[in-house]
Amino acid sequence: MSHRARRDWGLNAAIAYPLAAVAEISGCFAIWAWWRLGASPLWLAPGIFALALFGWLLAQVETSAAGRAFAAYGGIYIGASMLWMWFVEGERPDRWDFIGTSICLIGAAIILSVPRGT
């Protein structure tokens, strides 16, 4: 597959970013569970797969610069991390978590939505 064909196939950020966040957080949590919680080393195999999937998904975002894709994704990652903490770990975010996450999501929206010159 040519470089041009790969670029034309890119995913919309609204699809790629949430999927990438789930892959990254679950992959990192698998390593956390093994290292910090004493889970079986078998957790590492799906964790490594999830982290590779994360990288692939992020590379599919249609943008002219990788840094912009990574920066905008950061806001989505923060929001997804708060949801993970709440629904998987059972720790409800406090008002400062909500405020900080909101600021990050606004920043990500600005990075993704402003018109750019060619």
Q: Does residue 118 belong to any structural domain of this protein?
A: no
Q: Does residue 87 belong to any structural domain of this protein?
A: yes
Rounded (10°) CA dihedral 66, 48, 15, 99: -80
Looking at residue 9, what is its pLDDT? 53
**How would you write the pLDDT of the chain (118 residues) with one tens digit per residue?**
555 545 555 678 889 999 999 999 999 999 999 999 999 999 999 999 999 999 999 988 887 788 888 888 899 899 999 999 999 999 999 999 999 999 999 998 888 888 877 5
Q: Does residue 4 belong to any structural domain of this protein?
A: no
Q: Does residue 79 belong to any structural domain of this protein?
A: yes
How many structural domains are present in the chain?
1
Q: Does residue 56 belong to any structural domain of this protein?
A: yes
Q: Does residue 94 belong to any structural domain of this protein?
A: yes
Task: Say if CB 25 and CB 84 are below 8 A apart.
Answer: yes
Q: Does residue 7 belong to any structural domain of this protein?
A: no
Q: Does residue 91 belong to any structural domain of this protein?
A: yes
Domain that holds residue 33: 13-113
Looking at residue 4, what is its pLDDT? 52
Looking at residue 8, what is its pLDDT? 52
